[in-house]
Structure 1
């Protein structure tokens, strides 16, 4: 994605936090006609350590969805995660020669896909996802019985997405310090996404308490 240097968040821990807080992703690859094919789905991010470590995304799609066939034929794909985002009014600036913009947090992962197709492996994948989203459901899943479980497992295809490249963009008007105090005040009193952006501004020290750069405009 387009990445001005002031918005480039290079700490992988920040990207991992965003992916875990906003797991509903867009998985993008190419179909048999060479066009982008997109599936919107939850993905669980796992940071492996030690030998063979790295960032891995886990997920699955319905078997009738041809996306798994495209991943099988062309394993290289992109997964994107969108964090909080909101409009920014030019009224936050002390001068009038400004225009509106949109602030947002996003992560893009280039991945190599490996399908998870046999029943025991898919069951392990589902238990991983259950443990992430609703641990209490694990007992209900076990109580459904093997016949029902196998029927459900036959209806999905799982995949492991090994992250080979990562971009994390945090666009919070970092280069316009004169706007930070008013921007933070507006966001802190706004919608859920706006309040989330205000928290990120606090985390990054962009609340207006920082001294403006000399000659900043």
Structure 2
């Protein structure tokens, strides 16, 4: 990911927070057929060997069979993002030498991809993902709420994936390259938007 120094995010805690806040990732692998990408939720877990990301793919998805294990896999996490109008810049009134841009937060995670087919390990991955996403509900659903034979049948249709992360790249492009008056205009413009995604970026600028 191209990251000029003023947009680079290197703090491990901040990078992990961005990953955990992202609702959906994109898993990218390389194989004989070229690049393959699948959108999927990935859960970040810390272990003795460091950060790992767990999830699952449909067994019918050729990605889990076709990737080259010698080439690192890549998980893309997109944080808040928004269009930035040049009309918000104070510089526009002074010189008119301004153009539109896009503000965003992103993390790229690289590492070794492991495929999990063993039923108990796969059941554990699905359970942890479910518990994570159900945790905020008044009456959370659990995998154990469904009949065991039904769950066993469902597990036959998927494979687990674990990305053992060895490198993180982070970027916060939030108008750091503009002067304070321009940044104030961006904050004001985004904060006035009816779109909550824009307002979220405005709070970060």
TM-score (norm 1): 0.85
Larger RCO (CA under 8 A, 6+ residues apart): 2
Structure 1 position 72, deviation (Å)? 6.6
Gapped runs of 5+ residues in structure 1? 202-217
Structure 1 position 146, deviation (Å)? 2.1
Flag the 1:168–1:3 CA change in 2: closer, same or farther, 3 A.
Answer: same
SS at structure 1 position matched to 2:19: helix
Q: Is the 8 A contact 1:72 1:113 kept in 2?
A: no
- 1:39 is the counterpart of 2:38: yes
- 1:143 is the counterpart of 2:142: no
Q: Is the 8 A contact 1:72 1:114 kept in 2?
A: no
- 1:188 is the counterpart of 2:191: yes
- The residue that corresponds to 2:182 in the other structure is 179
- The residue that corresponds to 2:78 in the other structure is 82
Structure 1 position 70, deviation (Å)? 2.6
Partner Cα separation in structure 1 for residue 67 and residue 53 of structure 2: 14
Extract structure 1 runs of 4+ deviating beyond 3 A: 71-75
Partner Cα separation in structure 2 for residue 73 and residue 83 of structure 1: 28
Gapped runs of 5+ residues in structure 2? none
Structure 1 position 74, deviation (Å)? 4.5
- 1:120 is the counterpart of 2:123: no
- The residue that corresponds to 2:132 in the other structure is 132
Structure 1 position 73, deviation (Å)? 4.5
- The residue that corresponds to 2:15 in the other structure is 15
Aligned residues: 195
SS at structure 2 position matched to 1:2: coil
Partner Cα separation in structure 2 for residue 75 and residue 133 of structure 1: 30
Flag the 1:7–1:37 CA change in 2: closer, same or farther, 3 A.
Answer: same
Structure 1 position 115, deviation (Å)? 1.2
Structure 1 position 113, deviation (Å)? 0.9
Structure 1 position 10, deviation (Å)? 0.7
TM-score (norm 2): 0.90
Partner Cα separation in structure 1 for residue 89 and residue 203 of structure 2: 20
* Equivalent residue for 1:62, pick from 58, 64, 69: 58
- The residue that corresponds to 1:6 in the other structure is 6
- The residue that corresponds to 1:200 in the other structure is 204
Flag the 1:23–1:70 CA change in 2: closer, same or farther, 3 A.
Answer: farther
- The residue that corresponds to 1:205 in the other structure is none
Q: Is the 8 A contact 2:73 2:110 kept in 1?
A: yes
